[in-house]
């Protein structure tokens, strides 16, 4: 994600490491480079022109990026996207 981690808040929780969560730390979108760039640009500019379902890599349930988890996110389930400041 161009050296930035994005926080994602979901409308409906998903299961992550056996627990329901509505907040994720997005590490990487598992798709083509073009799709990744489009999603990143739109998210950082608060533009939602994407539809569909993406396979993404997120940090685990305690926020550890060294234990990435893969989950499927429906773009319509995203309530808010924000840049995480280290």
pLDDT of 4-36, one tens digit each? Answer: 678 999 999 999 999 999 999 998 878 888 877
8 Å CB contact between 29 and 39: yes
Residue 1: pLDDT band with limits 50, 70, 90: very low
CA 46 to chain centre: 14
For 5, 17, 26, 83, the CA distances from 45, given in Å and listed in that order, are: 15, 30, 16, 11
How does DSSP classify residue 85? P
Cβ contacts of 65 within 8 Å, gap of 6 or more: 5, 25, 27, 59
Q: Rounded mean pLDDT of the chain?
A: 85
Q: What is the pLDDT of residue 22?
A: 95
**pTM for the full predicted model:** 0.72
């Amino acid at each position: 994600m161009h050296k930035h981690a994005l926080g994602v808040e979901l409308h409906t929780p998903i299961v992550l490491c056996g627990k329901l969560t509505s907040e994720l730390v997005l590490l990487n979108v598992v798709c083509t480079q073009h799709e990744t760039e489009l999603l990143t640009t739109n998210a950082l500019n608060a533009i939602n022109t994407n539809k569909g379902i993406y396979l993404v890599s997120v940090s685990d349930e305690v926020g550890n990026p060294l234990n990435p988890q893969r989950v499927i996110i429906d773009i319509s389930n995203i309530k808010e996207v924000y840049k995480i400041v280290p």
